[in-house]
A = this chain, B = another copy of it.
């Protein structure tokens, strides 16, 4: 449902085609809300039918640019200030961390190192964008400022994940000497079958 409003928000910046919008999503925007071109084109059709956008112009190779209608602008504003934010986030990285105890210590170490590197590169990249915005390379209007705020969030979240991955490796919580089960090069005995080794928290009467 957010995609709908996101498209309206992007069109508020000025007329754009499905292709343009898809490109925006493949860049920074897609880091927090992925969307592929089929979904975008279909959503644009629906928005047009609903009267929230209309065709602005036809370009070179079948290019079709849309523009926001008054109703569309009103709708995206309504969304921003009246519709409750959905605070659930979907992060596979964090989801996986619940299951780290099932991994071989070496695999886990390698995994955390990879994750740290990934988020570090991402944070760096976003910081680069942020700096160019701070130098005024993208203008100084309200829109550029909003971009800057969004970027800052990206930087901070990614940096938090870098710090987390570093912390997890440093405190070495799953690979410490005092917890030596499932050594990498040994065949796993029964401890490796957590299913039977655990009492099984949630009672399962017969």
* Residues of chain A at the chain B interface (Cβ within 8 Å): 2, 5-6, 9, 11-17, 20, 29-34, 56-60, 63, 65, 67-68, 73, 76-77, 80-81, 85-104, 107, 111, 115, 118, 122, 141-143, 145-150, 152-154, 156-157, 159-161, 163-164, 167-168, 173-174, 179, 181, 193-195, 198-206
Contact B157 A99 (CB under 8 A): no
Contact B81 A103 (CB under 8 A): yes
Contact B200 A147 (CB under 8 A): no
Residues of B within 8 A of A147 (CB): 98
Q: Which residue of B lies closest to A12 (CB)?
A: B194
A97 to B2, CA, bound (A): 12
Contact A89 B88 (CB under 8 A): no
Given A15-B202, A33-B92, A152-B168, 5 more A-B residue pairs with CB atoms under 8 Å apart are A9-B98, A31-B89, A80-B111, A87-B122, A142-B179
A9 to B198, CA, bound (A): 13
Give how many copies assemble into the complex. 2
Contact B80 A102 (CB under 8 A): yes
Residues of B within 8 A of A29 (CB): 95, 98
Contact B198 A13 (CB under 8 A): yes
Distance (whole angstroms) from the CB of A187 to the closest CB of chain B: 14
A194 to B10, CA, bound (A): 11
Residues of B within 8 A of A101 (CB): 141-143, 145-146
Q: Which residue of B lies closest to A162 (CB)?
A: B156
Residues of B within 8 A of A145 (CB): 100-101, 173-174, 179
22 pairs from A and B in contact (CB 8 Å cutoff): A6-B95, A14-B195, A14-B200, A16-B204, A20-B202, A31-B88, A34-B90, A56-B204, A58-B206, A68-B195, A73-B102, A80-B107, A81-B104, A85-B92, A86-B92, A91-B157, A94-B154, A97-B146, A97-B153, A101-B146, A142-B181, A156-B160
